Amino acid sequence: MESVRAVLIDIDGVLTVSWRPLPGAVEALREIREAGLAVLLVTNTTSRTRASIAGTLADAGFPVSAEDILTAPAATAAYLAEHCPGARCALLNSGDIEEDLDGVTLVDATDTDAVPDVVLVGGAGPEFGYEALDRAFRQLRRGARLVAMHRNLYWRTDEGLRLDSGAFLAGLEQAARMEAEITGKPAPAFFESALARVGAPAGETVMVGDDVESDVLAAQRAGVTGVLVRTGKFQPEALRAADGTPDHVIDSFADLPALLRSSARG
């Protein structure tokens, strides 16, 4: 690992589970901040806005603000502005994220007669029922583009693993015979945006996540050092079946300061 100037950090499963801090995570983030490293929290969370996430984390003791967070919805807004400006989007998502979709034109997703320019898939929840998915399928068949904030198959809560929108997205792609445009992790553009935000080159940046594919290996493909934590959605079988090998695997985020110190000495 080269001299580290910046750290990209996933939130869910790394710093928190069900928005409660994991042991040692608050202290570890404070230590990293005090070392003078640039920090950006990068998350595929689609149920909350950046301001809401920052408020919850700050209340738990994490030294962060909304400016320290890059969400998949915020990245999606930038993507749509560049690739399909002015598009009318039907949003299929669990949670209110309109604040982070700045400049995106949202239409009534329940209007069966409307044909949006884009079907925009966020995170899964009760809204992902048959009627909503079938309506999205019909909109795609009538010419809408398919844009998704991520491909996550599941995430971890304090009640265990829960199914995420990636499982439904695969079905929509197969049925509509098209491939979704991904805007959050693991999209290369997401990591490019994150690096621009922290102002550090890929070779001097570390990414910490609990998803070996979307967080760690995707970051490594962008030239960023990947660190996998054995918390959150981490599963040994997923690591064994992965397309590559993380640069580092640690038990939890609490162990990251020690890893950075040892790498600096080496």
pLDDT tier at 155, thresholds 50, 70, 90: confident
For residue 120, which of 83, 154, 157, 153 has the smallest C-alpha distance? 83
Least confident of 25-29, 56-60, 97-101: 97-101
pLDDT > 70? residue 244: yes
pLDDT > 90? residue 259: yes
CA distance 54 to 29: 14
pLDDT > 70? residue 9: yes
What pLDDT does 262 receive? Answer: 85
pLDDT > 80? residue 2: no
What pLDDT does 111 receive? Answer: 75
pLDDT > 60? residue 151: yes
pLDDT tier at 265, thresholds 50, 70, 90: low
What pLDDT does 113 receive? Answer: 73
What average pLDDT does the structure give for the chain?
93
Backbone angles phi, psi at 174, to 5 degrees: -65, -45
Indicate the pairing of strand 16-17 with strand 20-21: antiparallel
pLDDT > 90? residue 28: yes
Query: Over the stretch 89-138, which tens digit does the pLDDT of each residue have?
Result: 999 999 888 889 989 999 987 777 778 999 999 999 999 999 999 999 99
CA distance 119 to 12: 25
What pLDDT does 266 receive? Answer: 55
Contact 72, 39 (CB under 8 A): no
- Compute the radius of gyration of the chain from its Cα atoms: 18
pTM of this structure: 0.86
For range 149-168, the mean pLDDT: 90
In sequence order, the 6+-apart residues with CB closer than 8 A to the CB of 238 are 212, 213
Query: Which position has the token pair 């966020």?
Result: 122
